[in-house]
Structure 1
Amino acid sequence: MELEPKQGKSMRSPTPTDHHHTSKLRRRRRRNICLAVIAVILLVVLIFVILGLTVFKAKRPLTTVNSVSVRDLDFSIDIARVRVLLNVTVDVNLSIKNPNKVGFKYTNSSALLKYRGEVVGEAPIPAGKISADETRQMNLTLTLMADRLLSNPNVYSEVIAGTLPLQTYTRISGKVQILFKIHVVSYTTCDLTVDIRSRSVGNQTCHYKTKL
């Protein structure tokens, strides 16, 4: 009696329908991955935008003149020539506060001493960086250049009268980088009257202006 060989389990060949279904699943998986990546990117961008408009919003550095004083004042009156030889040195103490959550970098600048709109003295302000929420103190010395006043007819009469109007001017220009770089310029102007006899500063009025 002959035994029939035992037949193994038959394997079904993939059909076009199976290939189509697998391809469809792969496309769906790739689409879901792409959508998830796009959603994460949009979420990150949204978070940065919210932080940029709130916590990290660019704020204007605040410049404040704490004091202006006369360090030195010497003068001599030439009655024959109706002119005055005048030397004045003014000390200016100012502070710059950076209210931002990132550093504020400023470029080389200068402080000016003016007499009736004419620049008669200058002091350099070297470039630097002010850290987040830091207040930087600056002590500037402005020396009046006597030769620049020789041709001004007002100096003689004002020195004789006992007062000399001067003006200090500082301009600090720099950048704050949060999501992108923002250019900031801070201006400070102080009008003051120097009492010739007491060699001190009388009236003093300061004005502040900042541009983003």
Structure 2
Amino acid sequence: MGSRKRFCCGLKICMVVPVENRNYGSFKYQESTAYVSYRGDVVAEAPIEADTIPARGKHNISTTVTMFEDKLLSDDNFKREFLQGLILNFTSATTLHGKVILFKLIKAKASSSSTCDISIFVQEQQAESICKSKVSL
């Protein structure tokens, strides 16, 4: 499965996303991409490299988010909300496909989807996110 590349200039933000797996099985996932949207338009992408999250363990996922500032700056709503110091609302979404490995014996295909509502409070220079995750076997 080849990765899709987007060629454009963009602001790059390095980030580490801590993940905690409370399950008794590890999760080995394939490479994927996380998307960030503003008012339904994708304004950022973050590649996620294939890896394994250990059973009942913690894991850091490192990535670089590429913001497509041309899309944001061409959106009149974004400019108005930013300049007026209002709340900027974004949504991030990602799905990881892979397999769950239980006791190194049982293997089953699985996917994990996560959606986050991200609010950036411009005047306060703070952010808040509420995320929902779903695992499908």
TM-score (norm 1): 0.49
Match of 2:100 among 162, 165, 176: 176
- Structure-1 separation of matches of 2:67 and 2:14: 8
**Letter of the 2:40 counterpart:** G
Q: Which runs of 5+ in 2 are unaligned?
A: 1-10
- Structure-2 separation of matches of 1:208 and 1:189: 7
SS of structure 2 residue aligned to 1:149? helix
TM-score (norm 2): 0.72
Residues 98, 130 of structure 1: 8 Å contact kept: no
1:15 matched to which residue of 2? none
Q: Choose between structure 1 and 2: higher helix proportion.
A: 1
2:42 matched to which residue of 1? 119
Deviation at 1:120?
0.8
2:19 matched to which residue of 1? 95
1:209 matched to which residue of 2? 134
The answer as to 2:109 corresponding to 1:186 is no
2:5 matched to which residue of 1? none
Deviation at 1:161?
2.6
**Letter of the 2:92 counterpart:** T
Q: Choose between structure 1 and 2: higher strand proportion.
A: 2
Divergent runs of 4+, >6 A: none
Q: Which runs of 5+ in 1 are unaligned?
A: 1-86
Match of 1:160 among 83, 87, 106: 83
- Structure-2 separation of matches of 1:93 and 1:119: 20
Work out the number of aligned pairs and report it: 124
Match of 1:136 among 51, 59, 83: 59
Deviation at 1:139?
4.0
- Structure-2 separation of matches of 1:174 and 1:120: 26
Q: Which has the larger Rg?
A: 1
Percent sequence identity is 33
Deviation at 1:143?
3.9
1:147 matched to which residue of 2? 70
RMSD between superposed Cα atoms in Å: 2.7
